[in-house]
Amino acid sequence: MPKVELRSYKKAQTPVGTLLRLFRYFRHCRLLLISAIASIILYSVATIAASYLMRPLVDLLESPSGLGISELYAKYIALLIGLVILYLFSALTNYLLNRLMLECSTVIMRQLRTELFSKMQKMPISYFDQHTNGSLMSYFTNDIEATNELLQHSITQMLISVISLAGVIAMMLVLSMKLFAIMVVLAALVVVAVRITTKISSRSYRAQQKHAASVNGYIEEMIAGQRDIKVFTHEKEVMEGFEPINEALYTASTTATTATSVVGPILNNLSHIFYAITCAIGVLWLTGEGAGGILITFLQYIRQFANRVSQISEQFNSIMLALAGAERIFAVLDSEPELDEGTVTLQKDGADYSWIPENGESVPLRGDVRFYDVDFSYVPEKPVLQKLSLYAKPGQKIAFVGSTGAGKTTITNLINRFYDIQSGQITYDGIDVREIKKDDLRRSLGIVLQDTHLFTGTVMENIRYGRLDATDEDCIRAAKIANAHYFISHLPQGYDTVLVSDGANLSQGQRQLVAIARAAVSEAPVLILDEATSSVDTRTEKLIERGLDGLMRGRTVFVIAHRLSTVRNADAILVLEHGKVIERGNHDDLLALKGKYYQLYTNMIELS
């Protein structure tokens, strides 16, 4: 099916905007965040204070100031004890802040996953046509994990580094303005290095997340199609298709990692150089009592300054990666959901259904569906339906036949508003379908698709998916209608047999029977059968048709079929070609007409 571009109705995120938006999620764990920030401040103060204790220790060794041996040792031991206490306190606060941020990030990830999954449920079918399952899953794996790493570790380490860096700079200013002038040069070089690498890595990490989603989508699609790949021996072609997208991911990852990883060695070497320069100049500049303590303490702070700056630069690696992931998540959250401007609702009273307008009298649901000059295309340059008009009277069985691409499935997609038409009108019991709430519209339709999807769970649960309040007796009755009861009863645990991997432990025909039972239990007044018997043998097909005859009695039914033998008893058969109805009538009338249907039925041309 052609892919339709989904527009975003909010402005694209910038890295700073993404970070600020991510910070808003901390409202879900305010107390934890406040406690973590307090722990970070205490940890930073403790480490800075521990370094500052080196000054009185050195001063004490240089100039005892007439203290006796016992007093000297007592003061020395007191300073050592203070140093030990500060280090123990910093270790405790470090554990506490990491624990608190771990809990806080868990809370935020739960909220973010909930919002993302909830948004997926609101997206239109066109969105899922546009994206592969693998690329959609990458939002919940790669992007969520990268964002979690940002909240759990990167932000914590960044706050520690920034607060500690501010404290170190303040202590340097207190110790010596002359020596601090040297640090200004180091800071300037650091800013230039970080600025250059940040621009490169930010751009590269966005590309990395995008290519990672492409790789995941390709792998998911190829793994799902392994049977076909091996049947047609396309392993080599599959690898050829994989190599360019994998190479693109490799290139983006290498560029991003290289840009950020070179900063650490550069800063490390700069710190050694400035450590040596400060030591040499400090010996000349600093004189008088306490000069040794000032120099030793200042050198300690140089080490801390270099370490914190290095940590900040290293955090840009994970921060840029996480922000790229967060940007993709927010892009989904900002995408336009499936719009529903309908006001008419569906009400069930016993076995009867009625449409309830917002203002006005109720209208009985009869199943009268009509198309008036409908134009539709998935992409503007390729029209699928052109000025299509048709009608289905209440209780009629309408069959659509025609070649692939003629528009048969598209018509049913428009009835349930998986897509909206560009022009014309579709009415349901005289009501424009755009005026009916989508949930109510779809609740009135029972659908069996050609591609059956079964959920992980028991057979009973999969049948009950058609109507969640259905009893076990209702589900069994529906299975009997679909002629699925016999094979279900012979499963190892009967209706309690657990289906896994999209019903892989059932045959294709059995999966289709379960899907038909699901539609039967829904008790929908209008049925859409899209190749509902395409995956079963002729004998099973006859059994299903008998069951469906009872199910369809009194209901409007739309049938899409390639096997023309399955539509012989339809009230009206519509032959489609290039999005237009070229013939309409029952089986006998169309055969007598000796037109396109006659040619199809008599195999004069093959139905592709």
Lowest mean pLDDT among 33-42, 258-267, 403-412: 258-267
Lowest mean pLDDT among 67-81, 329-343, 415-429: 67-81
Q: What is the pLDDT at residue 12? A: 44
More confident residue, 315 or 289: 315
The tokens describing 130, both together, are: 């546009």
In 387-410, which positions are buried (b, 16+ CB within 10 angstroms) versus exposed (e)?
ebebebebbbbbbbbbbeebbbbb
Secondary structure class of 489 (helix, strand, coil): helix
Q: Which of 333, 348, 372 lies at the terminal end of a domain, its last residue? A: 333
Res. 4: pLDDT tops 50: no
pLDDT in tens, 193-231: 666 766 666 677 777 777 887 887 788 777 767 766 765
d(CA 309, CA 114): 36
- For residue 42, what are the domain limits? 15-333
Confidence of residue 371 (pLDDT cuts 50, 70, 90): very high
Q: Which of 523, 540, 575 lies at the terminal end of a domain, its last residue? A: 523
Ramachandran bin of 501, using left for φ above 0, alpha for ψ from -120 to 50, beta for the remaining angles? left
Q: What is the pLDDT at residue 495? A: 93
pLDDT in tens, 496-508: 999 887 788 888 7
d(CA 476, CA 494): 11
8 A C-beta contact, residue 483 and residue 545: no
The tokens describing 330, both together, are: 């927010």
Mean local confidence (pLDDT), 421-443: 91
Secondary structure class of 7 (helix, strand, coil): coil
8 A C-beta contact, residue 296 and residue 57: no
Q: What is the pLDDT at residue 424? A: 93
Share of the chain above pLDDT 70, in %: 83
Name the helix (H) or strand (E) containing 363: strand 363-364
Tell me whether residue 150 is in a domain.
Answer: yes
Place of tokens 């279900």: 488
Confidence of residue 326 (pLDDT cuts 50, 70, 90): confident
Tell me whether residue 89 is in a domain.
Answer: yes
In the sheet that 345-349 helps form, which strands lie side by side, from edge to edge? 345-349, 352-356, 363-364
Residues 322, 458, single domain; the answer is no
The tokens describing 455, both together, are: 């959920």
Tell me whether residue 233 is in a domain.
Answer: yes
Tell me whether residue 440 is in a domain.
Answer: no
Q: Residue ranges of the alpha helices (H) in 334-437?
A: 408-415
pLDDT in tens, 97-107: 889 988 998 99
Confidence of residue 93 (pLDDT cuts 50, 70, 90): very high
Tell me whether residue 149 is in a domain.
Answer: yes
pLDDT in tens, 543-576: 667 666 766 777 888 988 777 767 888 889 999 8
Residues 46, 185, single domain; the answer is yes
Lowest mean pLDDT among 294-303, 355-364, 380-389: 294-303
Tell me whether residue 464 is in a domain.
Answer: yes
CATH number for the domain including 499?
3.40.50.300
Res. 289: pLDDT tops 60: no
In the chain, the amino acid numbered 579 is G
d(CA 13, CA 24): 15
Q: What is the pLDDT at residue 369? A: 92
The DSSP result for 186-212, as a single string, is HHHHHHHHHHHHHHHHHHHHHHHHHHH
- DSSP E strands in 393-469: the ranges are 397-402, 423-428, 431-432, 445-448, 457-458
Tell me whether residue 2 is in a domain.
Answer: no
| Number of folded domains that form the chain | 2
In the sheet that 572-577 helps form, which strands lie side by side, from edge to edge? 445-448, 526-530, 556-560, 397-402, 572-577, 580-585
Place of tokens 């930073």: 44
Number of residues written out for the chain: 608
d(CA 570, CA 551): 14
Res. 454: pLDDT tops 80: yes
pLDDT in tens, 122-157: 888 888 888 877 778 888 888 888 888 888 888 888
Q: What is the pLDDT at residue 231? A: 59
d(CA 555, CA 550): 10
Residues 25, 157, single domain; the answer is yes
CATH number for the domain including 280?
1.20.1560.10
| CA 283 from centre of chain | 60
Q: What is the pLDDT at residue 264? A: 64
Res. 273: pLDDT tops 90: no
Res. 464: pLDDT tops 50: yes
Q: What is the pLDDT at residue 5? A: 39
Q: Write the CB contacts of 292 (distance below 8 Å, at least 6 apart in sequence).
A: 58, 59, 62
More confident residue, 181 or 28: 28
For the chain, the average pLDDT equals 81
Q: Which of 523, 548, 570 lies at the terminal end of a domain, its last residue? A: 523
Mean local confidence (pLDDT), 505-532: 84
8 A C-beta contact, residue 436 and residue 344: yes
Place of tokens 């591609």: 451
What φ, ψ does residue 391 adopt, rounded to 5°? -145, 150
d(CA 501, CA 496): 16
In the chain, the amino acid numbered 299 is L
Q: What is the pLDDT at residue 355? A: 92
Tell me whether residue 603 is in a domain.
Answer: no
Confidence of residue 1 (pLDDT cuts 50, 70, 90): very low
